[in-house]
Amino acid sequence: MADFRLRVTYAMSGRLVMLSHLEVARALERAVRRADLPYAVSQGFSPHMKQAFGAALPVGVGGTEEIFDVQLTEYVAPDKALDRLRAASAADLMPYKACYITIDVPAASVAYPFSTYRAVLAFDDEGFAGSADSSSSADSAPSDFGALAQRVASLRVPEPITVVRKKKEKVLVPSDFLVGAMQAQGDALEFTLEAKKTGSLRPDVLLEAMLEGTGLHAVSIMRIRQREKAGE
């Protein structure tokens, strides 16, 4: 039986950024089922849909270029598969691209080790509410925005960071994971992190350490690009 690997690109935003990686995976699986695509299943005592998901996002972090792979038993034109998936998906977890990939292409889970994030920041005493698809604090007064932009531009990356994982402390050095310099863009920061075989640094953990004692907080964090190689 022939298998066809369909790679789907989707955006995750709004309230759905609060889903865990497992909950996102289940939601995408339900969308494939509702779309009535001829998906392949694994063999054994507990057969399941043959899928592969991209690198997990922390709860509260959205993404504009997320991917998952699903193996089909029959060829379905990519545009038709995409139309079916879009009709079966929630607005905040919406596919916008689908294409077939060959067997030599790495699975979604390991395809893109370099992730670029955009974090929109605000002063702690500002009361406007942010969501994961916020792009700018455009409603702020010009003087306030100028002060905010100056504060954002003055931020520095701490070295090192102590994180607690499974009740154990671990020391991480951000420069081991950061690719290039952070870019301040008004009220936002853009930066790229590399996920290594030996470990990774979460964007929310990095920002929490950077913003401690600065009077700033992250309104939103979005993964805006994923790449196979740095600089692509």
Predicted TM-score of the model (pTM):
0.87
Strands (E), 28-173: 51-53, 62-72, 93-101, 114-123, 161-165, 168-172
Q: Which CATH architecture has domain 4-111?
A: 2-Layer Sandwich (3.30)
Architecture of the domain whose range is 114-227: 2-Layer Sandwich (3.30)
In degrees, rounded to 5, the angle at the alpha carbon of residue 5 between the alpha carbons of residues 40 and 100 is: 145
pLDDT (tens digit per residue) in 4-61: 999 999 999 999 999 999 999 999 999 999 999 999 998 888 889 999 999 999 999 9
- List C-alpha distances in Å: 94 to 77, 139, 176: 19, 27, 33
Residue range(s) of every CATH 3.30.70.580 domain in the chain:
4-111
**C-alpha to C-alpha distance for 26 and 139, rounded to whole angstroms:** 37
* CA separation for the pair 228, 232 (Å, rounded): 8
Task: Write the pLDDT tens digit of every residue in 177-223.
Answer: 999 999 999 999 999 999 998 889 999 999 999 999 999 999 999 99
pLDDT tens for 102-115 read 989 998 988 999 99
Q: Is the predicted pLDDT of residue 131 greater than 90, yes or no?
A: no
CA 68 to CA 10: how far, in whole Å?
8
